[in-house]
Each structure stands twice: as C-alpha cells, then as structure tokens.
Chains A and B, each alone.
Chain A
Amino acid sequence: MKIKIKAFANVREILGYEEKPVEVPEDSCVSDVVKILSADYPGLKSVSAMLLFACNENYCSKETRLSENDTLALFPPVSGG
C-alpha cells in the first residue's frame, strides 16, 4: 500500500526530504515503517529512541496500524514557544 511520509527537524535532515510517498506492506504498523526507513537511512537509528509519530495529523504510537493513503509524520520532541 502507498502512504506518505512527512519528516521534520533533525529527522527531515537525516532522510533528506520533507515529504515522500512510499510503498509499504499491507497492515504495516508505524514501527514496521521505521524499520524499512532505517534500512535505507541508517542515521535514523541514532534518533529512533526519541522519535514521535503522528498519523493524519494526530499523535499516534509505534503500534498504530496504517492504512492506504495515510500520512505518517516522524519528528523529535517538540521545542516551540
């Protein structure tokens, strides 16, 4: 199935893009996608412990199951204000 990855801050710098469509197996959960991305971008492992996730603009967990056309955002802890 096709999903859209969005990346912010240091995660965007590691992946080298802000937004990209990717193909992942049906029924993938967030942690499956992180594993797939880490294989192509080893730098992601250095920040994986602190990663936060959002599915379709709502915070979600590593265990969240994804559906076709979902947007999965990966980012570090926030630091606005």
Chain B
Amino acid sequence: MIKIKFQKQKISISSVLGKLGTSADGALASFIGRVRNTSNGKSVRYLEYEIYDGMARKELERIMNDAVARWKLGGCVVFHRSGRVKVGDASIAIAVCSRHREESLQAVKYIIDTIKKKVPIWKKEFYRDGSNWITDRV
C-alpha cells in the first residue's frame, strides 16, 4: 500500500509510478520536486540532502498512512534523494492513486506540505562562493 525509498541515485519517475494501485483506481496524482538553479539571488551549483533515516521513515509512514486512511488511497509512494543532487534533478517524487481525482490531488498536497514541516531531512545549498544549510523554511 505504501512505499518509501531514500536513494543516492537519480529518481526514475517510471519506477515511482510503477505498479501503483489497481484498475479500481481511476486517478493517479504525483508531485516532483526539482533542484532550482537559484536561491535568494545566489546561483546554486548543487544540493546535498542529509536524512535521519530511521526517524524519517517513521514520520513518513505516519504521514502516508494518515493520507491513505483519510482519502482512501489505493497506493502511496515517496522517493527522496540523499547526498548530492544536481540542479534540475528530482529531489523528491510522490505518487498516490485513488478511485477519483479529488482524493489523489488533495492527498499529494497534504503529503508534500507535511513532509516539509515534519520529516527529518535537511538540505545544504552549495554556491560558487560557499554553502548554506537551509534551516529557516516552512
């Protein structure tokens, strides 16, 4: 029903969508977060993600199980990159499915918004002239 993967390799969108749900699910919604080339006026070279693996899985499971119960999802998948991620590459991919579109669309928004508040993952931006942990964003 739910699947979580933290990986150093590029995220393959086809493997995220893969065998999600069944033919009873008429809707599939997804969100892909990509690394932007600028941040606060600075040119970003790449990002590094650090993950508190055990706790991040627990928090994600909580969020995803909550979404599955609330919107009666047929499936729910979250992939997140760890380590260095290039500009333009996907840092996170979320996909869910449900019988109708409204449930899937709401669930995807809830999952990404809650991940950004609760799941212990941090990003560090690397510029030409230094680097910075992003710790003040909600």
Contact = CB atoms under 8 A, between A and B. Distances in A.
Interface of A: 6, 8-10, 12, 50, 54, 57-58, 73, 75-81
Contacts of B33: 81
A80 B135 contact: no
9 contacts: A8-B120, A75-B120, A77-B135, A78-B117, A78-B118, A79-B123, A79-B137, A80-B120, A81-B80
Interface residues of B, number: 29
A76 B55 contact: no
A9 B124 contact: yes
Interface stretch (B16-24, B44-52, B99-107): B44-52
A77 B138 contact: yes
B121 A78 contact: yes
A80 B119 CA distance: 7
Contact of B122 (A9, A50, A54): A9
Interface in B43-97: 49-52, 54-56, 58, 80, 91-92
Interface of B: 33, 49-52, 54-56, 58, 80, 91-92, 112, 115-124, 133-138
B115 to A, nearest CB: 5
A73 B55 contact: yes
B91 A8 contact: no
Given A77-B138, A78-B122, A79-B122, A10 B133 contact: yes
Given A9-B122, A54-B55, A80-B116, 9 more contacts: A9-B50, A57-B52, A73-B52, A73-B120, A77-B138, A78-B119, A79-B133, A79-B134, A80-B49
Contacts of B54: 57
